[in-house]
Amino acid sequence: MAWVPCEEPRHLSQQDCQDVLTLFLEETGEQYAETSVRQLPIPAWGGNMKLVDLDVEQPPIEGVFWATPFMDDIVRVAAFVVHRRHQGKGYGTLAWSRFVRHAIEAGFDRVQLEVKAANTRAQSFYTQRGLAVHDSLIGYYASGPGYMMRGPLRIGHGKDHDAQCGGGHRV
């Protein structure tokens, strides 16, 4: 398994788009239409990745990390999800570290994201990396309340908790 660069959602193959839709449904309980994924304003850059098995000829997408410029110095994580069979193996930590490096190189200082209120594991992952809850989100997720979290982009985060981030981001 490895994080590799991911094309813009509008350029995903039909199968890759279906993999992403299935991944979000299975891991977050959120159901999205193909058009909502394809229309995400996610640019092609080093901070966007997909998790795939490099030993498989046409591997399914097992995780996505999509981020986009939001404000002058803020990059927004629009989607971060890893299939449960790959959680706890360091893949979330690896994606986050790679994203932070690319975001800092691109001139961003801060990060913002949304997370389900029920996803305490992801909240802990982000808190360990310097993010804090800035707002409650009611009606943002179909399956319940969420939080908007924001914090500085920083390399390293203290004790490595080996990819504690599961699903929970709205696309």
CB atoms within 10 A of CB 113: 24
- Mean pLDDT for 138-166 is 71
pLDDT band at 159 (very low <50, low <70, confident <90, very high): very low
pLDDT digits (tens, 9 = 90+) for 13-55: 999 999 999 999 999 888 999 999 999 999 989 999 999 999 9
Distances (CA, A) of 80 to 60, 144, 147: 16, 18, 15
CATH 3.40.630.30 is held by the domain 2-152 = yes
Cα(140)–Cα(86) distance, rounded to whole angstroms? Answer: 27
> Which sign does the torsion angle of CA 11, 57, 49, 148 carry?
positive
pLDDT digits (tens, 9 = 90+) for 79-136: 999 999 999 999 999 999 999 999 999 999 999 999 999 999 999 999 999 999 998 8
Residue 113 identity (one-letter amino acid): L
Cβ–Cβ under 8 Å, residues 66 and 99:
no
